[in-house]
Structure 1
Amino acid sequence: MDELVKRLSEGDHPVTVGGPQPSVSELRKRLEEMGYVFVKFTDTRGGTDLGVRVDKSATDLSRAAFDQASGIVHIEGTLTLNYVKVRCIADIDLETLNGTGHLVTLEEVHL
């Protein structure tokens, strides 16, 4: 298994909202309209910014107050990282745009 995937699959890690212009309004738009968010794992060399296809049935926005920039957003979605299909699970505090997250390995893609 890929070393980075293995490491990010073990325990929770610090994350932040990634992408070109991280903000509460951008995160809301990406969650509600685009279905694609960036989650950055900050404790890797240089940080690992992942593009995540949002699983709307598993993502929970009920504790989020986007207009007040407060509350917690629970994000789940899938992506392929270093030829391994994974599910990204992250809880983001809207006040700071930081939180914790981890990966769950789904399957390795064999070339």
Structure 2
Amino acid sequence: MLFQALAQQNLKREVALSATNFFAVAEMTAVTDCVVTLPRLIYRRLAHDPRLRILSAPVDRGTFPVEMAWHVRYRHDPAHRWLRGLVGQLIGELAASVRR
């Protein structure tokens, strides 16, 4: 979706780096001339860093899924079900607060 939105505005995305941790990418960006696209929750935490400049994206980036995974043996475990429910509730509340 991002690539199509950029193409509609005659913009092109060149990926120079890929990482599995948002905060690691932010640190790498702070010491290079690269640009990074981060979720709002993450960049709000990084906004105080004077090495970074926060800008709005030129296109709507949409959303991405957040998922939980667990071993099948815990599927029906009461304590594990409670924990999954709690984590799901907290993520929902956090997502609602970020949208504000």
Normalised to the residue count of structure 2, the TM-score between the two structures is 0.25
Which one has the bigger helix percentage? 2
Normalised to the residue count of structure 1, the TM-score between the two structures is 0.23
Which one has the bigger strand percentage? 1
